[in-house]
A and B are shown apart, each in its own frame.
Chain A
Amino acid sequence: MEAPSCRERPPGSEEEKEDPAVVVGLSLCDSAPLVWRMQDLRTVRSRGLVGALLGSLPRAPRQNGRLGRPLLLLPEEERLLREHHAAAALPQPDRSQAMSGLLKDGVRAELCQQYEEQQQRSFEEQSVLALEDRKSALHRAMTSSHISAESGAGTSDEALQHRLQTLDQNFTFPRSALAVQLSTARTGLSYCSEARALLQADWPIRQRCKPHCDARYQVYRDLRGRGFYLTSAGKFGGDFLVYPGDPLRFHAHFIAVCVTLDESICLLDVLAVTRLGSNVKKTVLLCSPGADGGVCYTSLQWSGMV
């Protein structure tokens, strides 16, 4: 069995529309599989795997409604990709090499200079635009007051000209008002070595408990094979939320609870999860992998008998 090929892109290139990758590159943060690159995200979605976005968007910070990269995969999603030889861990760049590369005086100085020049150009452009903006605002303000004033037209014109002249001479665009554009196309923390070091911290993000994990994976694979989309169902106390199509287009139909056939379930828990399911218009699915490799499903619903 040959090792799957992993498409690597040199960090310098910027391509607008990249084809979805054949093999998804995973950045492993301890045990958590993260997807950073846009082509990888497209591939993951096109395979019917949803994952969960974790990152904040630079232009919309301090909110949790819309999140950005990286995408965190469920352990079942990662395992499915690996089984189809569609994912591989990206080689971790040698830390010492990366850091020494960045700190090489020549390279760093050059990058700094380029950045400064770019900022200066942007500053000059923005100053010009700001001045024009102020002038037109002034013009608007003075001409509108002229319409309502009904006094002599000549004096207001002169006043306007005088004001515009003063503005030209005295206007300064403060440096603190400069709008700085952040380039986010290549965000992959390839250059923020401190942040990357934080992500590589040694604590396990997810626990591994063998028998339950296998049950979950069997159920995941079976439902995915039937064309459902699955996401994590922590909000509903279940294992998965099952959607009949892409979660962006549909509400979930089922809350899947994965148990083994022999596992003892407390009746109160069954009542609680079924009641919750009926309140949110979802059917609770009790799922167990059978001995023959298939999975048996039992739907739990409110009886309607008060």
Chain B
Amino acid sequence: MKMSGASDGAEMPEKRPPPNWILQHPAYQQMKDLQVGDSAQVHAAFLVYMDLTEVRRWKEVSCVKSPELQLVLLEVREKEGAPVQTVLPLPVHCSLSHKSIRQVLDRGFPMLLCAVAADSTLVYQRMTDGLVTPEPPVGPFQDVGRRQQRKRRQQR
């Protein structure tokens, strides 16, 4: 194999870097074809795609483009026959507005935000329209007796 660029004959031959498997992955190619113009976001979307399909084995994962946001969104079902959910993948250093969140919610599906860190850590958060009452704390509850309070006061 011919060496490229080496003028000094005594140098060690350069190893050709292995082909980037991400760039060649068909799913990645699909996302790239959506032409959102933000390669960092596309990369984040791909990592979320891999997590959902390979790790969590969710079904029917597909990518769509959000024209208002110029971002790649994923549509996915958790199981066969489960309702469709929208996943918004974003690199963690990004910022977003409430308006853009509403635009994703307006698609009408339950929404998950996924933040992708530089080390590929993924954090999923649920976003819902309206006021969702939180889960109440789990019992059984024990009233703190007066003796305990007195003990605490003496310890101070």
Residue positions of A touching B, CB distance < 8 A: 253-254, 259-268, 270-271, 274, 277, 281-283, 285-286, 288, 296-303, 305
By the criterion CB–CB under 8 Å, are B131 and A297 in contact?
yes
The residue from B90, B96, B135 contacting A281, defined by CB atoms under 8 A apart: B135
- From the candidates A264, A283, A296, name the one contacting B96 in the complex (CB within 8 A): A264
Q: How far is it, in angstroms, between the C-alpha of A266 and the C-alpha of B131 when the chains are bound?
A: 22
Q: How far is it, in angstroms, between the C-alpha of A268 and the C-alpha of B123 when the chains are bound?
A: 11
For the complex of A and B, the 8 pairs showing the least CB-CB separation, nearest first, are A299-B132, A303-B124, A261-B99, A305-B124, A264-B95, A299-B128, A301-B126, A283-B134
Given contacts A266-B95, A281-B137, contact A298 B101 (CB under 8 A): yes
Please measure, in the bound complex, the distance between the C-alpha atom of A195 and the C-alpha atom of B94, giving whole angstroms: 50
Which A residues touch B16, using CB under 8 A? none
Q: Is B129's beta carbon under 8 Å from chain A?
A: yes
Known: A261-B102, A267-B92, A274-B125. A299 touches B131 (CB 8 A): yes
Q: Which residues on B are within 8 Å of A, measured CB to CB?
A: 56, 90-99, 101-102, 105, 112-113, 115, 123-137
Across the two chains, which residue of chain A brings its CB closest to B138?
Answer: A281
B134 in complex: contacting residue of A267, A282, A286, A298, CB < 8 Å: A282
Q: How long is the Cα–Cα vector from A163 to B101 in the complex, in angstroms?
A: 86
* B105:A298 contact, CB within 8 angstroms: yes
Instruction: Please determine whether B92 and A265 come into contact, CB atoms closer than 8 angstroms.
Output: no
* CB nearest to A258 among chain B residues: B98
A78→B124 CA distance, assembly (Å) = 39
Beyond the given A281-B136, A299-B127, could you list 12 further A-B residue pairs with CB under 8 A, ordered by the A residue number? A259-B98, A264-B97, A265-B96, A265-B97, A265-B98, A267-B92, A267-B115, A281-B135, A281-B137, A282-B134, A286-B101, A299-B132
A220 to B89, CA, bound (A): 32
Contact of A271 among B97, B105, B123, B126 (CB under 8 A): B123
Q: Do the beta carbons of B90 and A263 come within 8 Å of each other? A: no
Question: In the complex, which residue of chain B has the Cβ closest to the Cβ of A251?
Answer: B137
Distance between Cα atoms of A208 and B73 in the complex (Å): 39
Determine the chain B residues whose CB is within 8 A of the CB of A266 once the complex forms.
Answer: 95
CA distance A305 to B51 in the complex (A): 11
Docked-complex contact B125 and A263, CB < 8 angstroms = no
In Å, the complex CA distance between A261 and B98 comes to: 5
